[in-house]
Amino acid sequence: MEKEIFALVGFWEIILSIFMQWQAYTISNIKTFSVQSWILGIFLLWAGVFHGFTALIILALLTIITRAIAMPLYLGNTIRKQIYRARENKHRISTGLSILISLLLAVFGYLVYYLILAGYGQSLVSIPITLMLQGAFLIVSRSNAYSQLIGYLVMENSMFLLSFLFSELPFIVEAGIILDVLGVVVVAGLLMRVRDEDIEKEEELLG
């Protein structure tokens, strides 16, 4: 039962990350990330209640509060002050090609599992690996700072799925990870307010 629910959660996480690949509206991507985090948080909450693990319940609540609510609100608030960044017209890779690459990454994720991790008996491990690759691809395929940051956050979400699948890290470590990611988002948000990503060549950054 738990495996089926995990597969369902993973499936939706991947579908939503592919949806992000063809989204031109950054605000939609922020909302999609929020939905992703809600799904992850609710799943962790269910697992915590089902197994009676208080630490998992706290972790689920922390996930919902920070990833599903606080970060999207903060990023949404930041982008409203920079409305010209709300739509990303010029992708580094065309939308069609990025969807195709996303699908290929899903296949590649399964291959990574099959070739390297199949021996550990966790057939579902291809799901977080695929999600991680989707996040990484979002970072490299976009020049918009918000999209890149969301790509990073998708990667971090995949870490929680991976952690759940293998063995839960100690609570203090998981909580530390959540706080770290929150710190990265806050500082990245501050930088995004003043940074202009349309620079062509900057002599001081060459070589």
Determine the size of the site formed for another protein (CB under 8 A).
42
Nearer to another protein, 50 or 166 (CB): 166
Site for another protein in 103-132 (CB under 8 A): 116, 119-120, 132
Distances (CA, A) of 66 to 29, 52, 62, 74, 137: 17, 22, 6, 10, 24
Distance CA 24, CA 7 (A): 28
CB of 164 to another protein, least distance (A): 10
- Written as six digits, the tokens of 179 are 């706080």
Residue 115: how many other CB atoms lie within 10 Å:
8
Query: Which of 28, 163 has the CB closer to another protein?
Result: 163
CB of 96 to another protein, least distance (A): 25
For the CB of residue 40, give the shortest distance to another protein in the complex, in Å: 16
135 within 8 A of 153, measured Cβ to Cβ: yes
Report which of 25, 36, 65 is spatially closest to residue 147, judged by C-alpha positions: 25
Q: Is 89 in the site for another protein (CB under 8 A)?
A: no
Q: 10 Å Cβ neighbour count for 81?
A: 9
82 binds another protein (CB under 8 A): no
**What residue ranges bind another protein (CB under 8 A)?**
116, 119-120, 132, 136, 139, 145, 148-149, 152, 155-156, 159, 162-163, 166-167, 169-170, 172-173, 176-177, 179-180, 183-184, 186-188, 190-191, 194-197, 199, 202-205, 207
